[in-house]
């Protein structure tokens, strides 16, 4: 192993960012294996260093913008004065608009995390800001997507395990009409579907409903919830034991 490292060191490639050209395949076609490996390792190392510095720079840029929001008493960053001074900050960069947009999107992500470390829940609520950090929202969004995907899979499984209407009529009162394994799978799928439905309801964010929805959106959600209640009540008639008569 040490002999291999020594061989690579002898073929070390100097990678400098001061005047870094874009390589073409013909530029390295005649290089030896050792030189190519050393060159690749040097580029990878330099990239890691640059990425680390870039993250720190963007976090520091986010701190300056949070400080500006404090000075303008505008923690949401929506006032004309704040927007103008930040626009001036980026105006002289001389970068393509797409790169500036990407940079600002990353900075806003860091701003969201910084603000929620320095403001109390009450201050966030008064400013009209959600208490969750962007990191927490990303985690919640991933969990919500996973639940939706699971719901799709379980729903499909239930549809496949449920007999068509004609077969269902034949099966009424005659459990032998379907294989035992099919019945077991169908019942298990229905229990999984109920579990998924409960998990999805657990993902509703009270703060979003209370603070961020419009009156029309809340009315639409209320209608959907009423429909859910009716369907649940109808299904519970099948799951509850009949009351004993005298």
Inter-CA distances, 176 with 169, 170, 179, Å: 13, 10, 7
Structural contact between residues 196 and 188, judged by C-beta atoms closer than 8 angstroms: no
Q: What residue numbers bound the domain in which 234 lies?
A: 205-239
Residue 17 is assigned to a structural domain of this protein: no
pLDDT in tens, 97-139: 888 888 999 999 899 889 988 888 888 888 888 777 666 666 7
pLDDT at residue 243, rounded to an integer: 62
The C-alpha atoms of residue 35 and residue 12 are separated, in whole angstroms, by: 7
Residues 122 and 56 grouped into a single domain: yes
Residue 155 is assigned to a structural domain of this protein: yes
Residue 246 is assigned to a structural domain of this protein: no
**Cβ-based neighbours of 65, under 8 Å, separated by 6 or more:** 77, 86, 89, 107, 111
Residue 163 is assigned to a structural domain of this protein: yes
Q: Which of 75, 102, 126 is the last residue of a domain?
A: 126
Structure tokens belonging to residue 52 = 């680390």
**Best CA proximity match to 46, nearest among 13, 70, 11:** 13
Residue 166 is assigned to a structural domain of this protein: yes
Residues 115 and 168 grouped into a single domain: no
The C-alpha atoms of residue 233 and residue 203 are separated, in whole angstroms, by: 21
Structure tokens belonging to residue 194 = 């109920």
Residues 103 and 181 grouped into a single domain: no
The mean pLDDT value of the chain amounts to 78
Residues 182 and 159 grouped into a single domain: yes
Residue 147 is assigned to a structural domain of this protein: yes
Residue 89 is assigned to a structural domain of this protein: yes
What are the start-end ranges of the E strands in 23-79? none
Residues 148 and 228 grouped into a single domain: no
The larger pLDDT score, comparing residue 49 to residue 172, is at 49
Residues 179 and 225 grouped into a single domain: no
In total, how many domains does the chain have? 3
The C-alpha atoms of residue 45 and residue 33 are separated, in whole angstroms, by: 18
Average pLDDT over residues 200-216: 82
**Best CA proximity match to 132, nearest among 146, 107, 115, 145:** 115
Q: Which of 100, 126, 152 is the last residue of a domain?
A: 126
Residue 171 is assigned to a structural domain of this protein: yes
List the single range of 3-17, 21-35, 99-113, 190-204 with lowest mean pLDDT. 3-17
């Amino acid at each position: 192993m040490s002999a291999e490292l020594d061989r690579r060191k002898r073929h070390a490639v100097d990678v400098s960012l001061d005047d870094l050209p874009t390589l073409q395949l013909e530029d390295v076609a005649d290089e030896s294996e050792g030189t190519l490996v050393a060159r690749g390792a040097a580029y990878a190392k330099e990239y890691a260093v640059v990425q680390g510095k870039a993250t720190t720079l963007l976090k520091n840029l986010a701190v300056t913008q949070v400080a500006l929001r404090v000075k303008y008493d505008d923690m949401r960053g929506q006032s004309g004065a704040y927007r103008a001074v930040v626009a001036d900050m980026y105006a002289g960069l001389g970068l393509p608009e797409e790169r500036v947009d990407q940079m600002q999107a990353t900075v806003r992500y860091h701003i969201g995390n910084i603000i929620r470390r320095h403001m109390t829940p009450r201050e966030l609520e008064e400013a009209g800001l959600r208490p969750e950090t962007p990191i927490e929202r990303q985690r919640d969004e991933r969990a919500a997507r996973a639940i939706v995907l699971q719901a799709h899979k379980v729903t499909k499984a239930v549809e496949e395990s449920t007999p068509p209407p004609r077969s269902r009529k034949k099966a009424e009162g005659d459990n032998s009409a379907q294989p035992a394994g099919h019945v077991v799978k169908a019942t298990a799928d229905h229990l999984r579907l109920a579990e998924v439905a409960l998990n999805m309801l657990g993902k509703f964010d009270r703060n979003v409903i209370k603070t961020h929805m419009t009156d029309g959106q809340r009315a639409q959600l209320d209608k959907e919830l009423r429909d859910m209640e009716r369907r649940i009540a109808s299904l519970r008639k099948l799951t509850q034991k009949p009351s004993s008569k005298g």
